[in-house]
Amino acid sequence: MNSNNVTIYDVAREAGVSMATVSRVVNGNPNVKPTTRKKVQDAIDRLGYRPNAVARGLASKKTTTVGVIVPDISNIFFADLARGIEDVATMYKYNIILGNSDSSRDKEVHLLNTLLGKQVDGIIFMGGRLHEDLVEEFKKSPVPIVLAATLNQGYDLPAVNIDYEQAAYDATQMLINHGHDRVGFITGPLEQQINGEKKFAGYRRALEDAGLPFHDNDMILGNYTYASGLEAMQKMLQRDDCPKAIFAGTDEMALGVIHAIQDAGYSVPNDFEVVGHDNTRLATMIRPKLTTVVQPMYDIGAVAMRLLTKILNAEEIEEKNVVLPHRIERRDSLRQD
């Protein structure tokens, strides 16, 4: 009873028509007489025919599959993004092949080539840093590539992001406005443009605009994890001139920061104020609840996928470099004004 291996040809014979007609019916082509359509549809149902997408892909050169390259799907941030991508993909009848790169250049390149070999119709890429080898590969890609939550570098690809510089500025400024003359900045590696060029720049600009000096040791770099946030803050707490306001590059690091503060016997927000970044679900799973920059991960994924479908359908594109709005969600890790 395997609905297996019944082909378009079997259906054609059963219905007494040609393959081409069956193909038209299956693909909703209007040039089929209703009675014929019915006849074919009945045959399809009777035989339990299911079109072979591989054969279809070979003949049509379209696989209705897109590749998604992500550093690590087990990271809540990328998981949200992926969900946004998948939802929109489903909406447009695409499936996604998902691959983890661990932000390794080799894995990224390898994955890209595997996906291209599988004839995906397009690719959505996420990664902290666009290595130039990878950009070379991108240039050779026969299918469109869209960046999600990933900054363009050297090669002008369609991309969906928020304004990280401004977001960092806003967060830092908010802390400064609360009367702090020093603001600690704990984030990920500076090699990643998003930290090194954007968030850092926003942070410095906010200090500057407030007439505050930048202290080298007010900035500590980690690797995005809870543990690295905790550790960074522990280190900072040992200083006599420890900043009483902290802007953390991700929510997970912010949780680490808050716990380090609490473990040392201080209170958030009374002794220290903390602002995070991303507004992952974690932000409300801590006491005090975290004030954080809202980066709409799901939306970034969804918009990126939508952008890709537009490119695939050769639709009009207003702007291939999409900047989604951000805002700061105020919660209890900041004192009331």
Interface with DNA by CB under 7 A: which residues? 5, 7-9, 16-21, 23-24, 26-27, 30-33, 35-37, 49-52, 55-56, 58-61
CB 50, min distance to DNA, A: 7
158 is a site residue for a second copy (CB under 8 A):
no
When binding is defined by CB under 8 A, the residue of 21, 75, 161, 172 that contacts a second copy is 75
Residue 125 binds: one of DNA, a second copy, none (C-beta under 5 to 8 A by kind): none
Strands 327-329 and 291-294: antiparallel
**Closer to DNA by Cβ: residue 32 or 212:** 32
Peptide bond into 34 cis (omega under 30): no
Residue 332 binds: one of a second copy, DNA, none (C-beta under 5 to 8 A by kind): none
Is the separation of the CB atoms in 64 and 94 below 8 Å? Answer: yes
When binding is defined by CB under 8 A, the residue of 116, 151, 210, 212 that contacts a second copy is 116
The residues, ordered by sequence, that sit 6+ positions from 50 with a Cβ below 8 Å of its Cβ are 3, 6
Encoding tokens for residue 57? 């892909």
148 is a site residue for a second copy (CB under 8 A):
no
What are the C-alpha distances in Å from 123 to residues 67, 75, 102?
5, 20, 17
Q: How far is Cα 123 from Cα 97, in angstroms, rounded to an integer? A: 9
When binding is defined by CB under 8 A, the residue of 11, 257, 286, 311 that contacts a second copy is 286
Site for a second copy in 245-264 (CB under 8 A): 252, 255-256, 259, 262-263
| Residues near a second copy (CB under 8 A), total | 57
Residue 103 binds: one of DNA, a second copy, none (C-beta under 5 to 8 A by kind): none
Closest CA to 84 of 160, 28, 191: 160
Q: How far is Cα 3 from Cα 114, in angstroms, rounded to an integer? A: 30
How many helices and strands (H and E) does the chain possess?
13, 12
Residue 33 binds: one of a second copy, DNA, none (C-beta under 5 to 8 A by kind): DNA
Residue 177 binds: one of a second copy, DNA, none (C-beta under 5 to 8 A by kind): none
Per-residue binder mask for a second copy (CB under 8 A), 35-74, x = binder: -------------x-xxxxxx-xx----x-x------xxx
Per CB under 8 A, the segment of 111-119, 149-157, 170-178, 190-198 that binds a second copy is 111-119
109 is a site residue for a second copy (CB under 8 A):
no
**DSSP SS3 for 136:** helix
What are the C-alpha distances in Å from 149 to residues 91, 163, 246, 295, 297?
21, 10, 23, 9, 8
Is the separation of the CB atoms in 273 and 323 below 8 Å? Answer: no
Label residues 165-204 b or e (16+ Cβ within 10 Å = b).
bbbbbbbbbbbbebebebbbbbbbbeebbbbbebbbbbbb
| Sign of the C-alpha dihedral computed for residues 131, 137, 140 and 146 taken in this order | negative
Per-residue binder mask for a second copy (CB under 8 A), 79-98, x = binder: xx-xx--xx--x----xxxx
CB 153, min distance to a second copy, A: 20
CB 37, min distance to DNA, A: 7
Interacting residues toward a second copy by CB under 8 A: 1-5, 48, 50-55, 57-58, 63, 65, 72-76, 79-80, 82-83, 86-87, 90, 95-100, 113-119, 140, 142, 226, 252, 255-256, 259, 262-263, 281-282, 284-287, 298
